[in-house]
Structure 1
Amino acid sequence: MLAAQRQQAIVDRLQAEGVVRVTDLVHAFDVSDMTVRRDLDSLARRGLLIKVHGGATLRSSPTSEEPGFAAKAARDGAEKAAIAAAAVGLVEPGMAIALNSGTTTHALAQLLAPIPDLTVVTNSPRIADVLWAADATATGTRGPVVIVTGGVRTPSDALVGPLAVHALSTLNVDVCFMGVHGVSLERGITTPNLLEAQTNQQMLESASRLCVLADHTKFGLSGLSRIAGLEEIQTLITDETMSASAVDLLRGYIDEVVLAPVGAPVQGVGA
């Protein structure tokens, strides 16, 4: 196994278990203690873990830290595109769906224009812009009907607060596609923003089905505010880089866990 492969395997194990021990890694990879410690040093320099006595833990960030949309959009673009391509297969003509604000749901929005008679409820001005632009450029077909909740704008460009919650409480949708800050066995799905958590809670309450879109880097993270427990999720779509052990753990709580192949072409939408 090459050093890069071994280091990725260490990161995967960390994301699944939260901690790794040098002795366990020596046994798992059949390498020397010194080789494992060099791997941990390399990963620590890249900011991917924190070395502790005898092993390493995940690098955590403040639970209230809320990156802006542009910062999040620059991360894991191929994985988000793969997740969006898998998610669009769940959307059928004539559906009403909800998309919360996020970079992965934004990627999904870019695939929705060909699906006829679609209604999209969103608290994201950026997603609304994507869908309105698709309507303006469509030839011979009308783009999705777009319902924007209104509300106060957050650093991540979500419209949240009492106005958004009230608007969502009057609606019923078939599927809610939800991007999240973190996915944790203990905390469920979370976000750093309290008002955004409340808005997302109402969005999922207005839906018959909840589909969470979260790339592998979200596993093990917890934001300040809890949106829902894992048992409330019907489908989780992540990317194929998610570790097998993490997938096994998630399948203990969630009915359907989909691993989206990175780089795969988008299948025919709206068919």
Structure 2
Amino acid sequence: MLASARQQRILDALREREQVRVTSMATELGVSEMTVRRDLNVLAARGALVKVHGGATLDAAPTSSEPGFTHKLALRAAEKRAIAQAAVEWVKPGMSIALNSGTTTYALAAQCAGINDLTVITNSPRIAEVFYAASTPGQNIILTGGIRTVSDALVGPLALSALSQLHVDLLFLGVHGMTAEDGYTTPNMLEAQTNQAFIRSAARQVVLADHTKWGVTGLCQIVPLAGIDAVVTGAQLDPHAQQILRELIDSLILA
């Protein structure tokens, strides 16, 4: 394949996925990783993409950039549903679970809404509305107070105070990004503090994140990769990322 054809394939993949990894593109194109890196260098010099650790994006978002909930809800909806369908297998009647604010945890809420005898703690008014609308017998919904962020999370002293008094069986945590170096991150400092309180409240923690979250870094670290018990993500996750996660956490589920 000519270099120009390879580079066009890389750009096509970027437009479809928003980011590409060197390892996966090398496999798709049937070339070495060094060849892909050279192609990325050429495209970056033209301003066609931005190189990041292990791959490239069409545009490198600032670490403090925080898209709104409605915008994120439309992104990779099918993958988020698949992740939710895999995660709901861990939820049983009689459990107490926590879901932080996020579009993948929102997808999980729809899967959990019909489960009887469930206590749900969340800092997301949108997630609470899913359970309120279902009106399933035996469900108790606890919505933390707090200040509402761009991503529709309730944060701040009221949220922290509420979470400090609770102990749940299972936490499902949505994140903005995850990398080997920076762990799980978010662009919002108050959300990072609230998510850390969620983690402290839970006997077991599960991150729900579509595969494009790998290689993305937000402004604030929530916790290192090894600080979470399990990750449920899309089957398209880069093989090298899969290896890193399997070495550091108890369980990696590819939906």
**Which band: TM-score by shorter chain?**
0.7 to 0.9
Aligned to 2:72, the other structure's residue is in SS state helix
Q: Is the 8 A contact 1:83 1:213 kept in 2?
A: yes
TM-score, normalised by the number of residues in structure 1: 0.79
CA offset digits 1:33-72 (Å, max 9, x no partner): 99x57x958x975xxx3269xx974442111111110111
Q: Matches of 2:164 and 2:237 in 1, distance apart?
A: 34
- The superposition leaves residues 119-147 of structure 1 with CA deviations (integer Å, 9 ceiling, x where unpaired) of 00000000001110011xxxxx5162100
Measure the CA separation in 2 of the matches of 1:114 and 1:258: 23
Counterpart contact for 2:21–2:55, Cα < 8 Å: no
Identity of aligned residues (%): 52
- Does residue 1:184 correspond to 2:190, yes or no? no
SS at match of 1:208: strand
Alignment match, 2:115:
115
Supply the RMSD in Å over aligned alpha carbons. 3.4
Partner of 2:188: 193
Shift of 1:27: 3.8
Matching residue of 1:246:
241
Contact 1:231 1:253 in 2 (8 A): yes
**Larger helix percent:** 2
Letter in 2 for 1:147: I
Whole-Å separation in 1 of the counterparts to 2:179 and 2:36: 32
Letter in 1 for 2:82: A
Distance in 1, Cα, partners of 2:66 & 2:36 = 40
Q: CA deviation at 1:32?
A: 11
User: In the alignment, which residue of structure 2 is the partner of 1:162?
Assistant: 157
Instruction: Tell me which of the two structures has the higher relative contact order, counting C-alpha pairs closer than 8 angstroms and 6 or more residues apart.
Output: 1
The aligned counterpart of 1:13 is: 21
TM superposition shift of 1:113: 2.1
Verify the 8 A CA contact 2:105 2:172 in the aligned structure 1: yes
Distance 1:56 1:158, change over 3 A: closer
1:80 Cα deviation from its structure 2 partner: 0.7
Aligned to 1:74: 74
The yes-or-no answer on 1:151 pairing with 2:146 is yes
Question: Partner of 2:50 in structure 1?
Answer: 50
Q: Does 1:210 align with 2:205?
A: yes
Instruction: Name the amino acid aligned to 2:107.
Output: A
- Structure 1: segments with no counterpart, 5+ residues: 136-140, 261-271
1:202-244 Cα shifts (integer Å, max 9, x gaps): 0110000010001111001111111111111111000011121
Q: Secondary structure at the match of 1:204?
A: helix
The Cα shift of 1:173 comes to 0.2
Does the CA-based 8 Å contact 2:118-2:139 persist in structure 1?
yes
CA distance in 2, matches of 1:75, 1:44: 24
Q: Give me the whole-angstrom Cα distance separating, in 1, the residues matched to 2:72 and 2:104.
A: 9
Distance 1:230 1:111 in 2: 26
Aligned AA for 1:115? I
The answer to whether the Cα contact below 8 Å between 1:40 and 1:51 also exists between their aligned partners in 2 is no
SS at match of 1:126: helix
What displacement does 1:258 show?
0.5
Output the TM-score relative to the length of structure 2: 0.84
What amino acid is the match of 1:67?
A: P
Are residues 1:60 and 2:60 paired?
yes
Partners of 1:107 and 1:75 in 2: how far apart? 12
Q: Is the 8 A contact 2:169 2:202 kept in 1?
A: yes
Given that 2:99 and 2:120 are in contact with CA atoms closer than 8 Å, whether structure 1 keeps it comes out as yes
Distance 1:249 1:3, change over 3 A: same
- Count of residues paired in the alignment: 242
Cα distance between partner residues in 2 of 1:146 and 1:103: 18
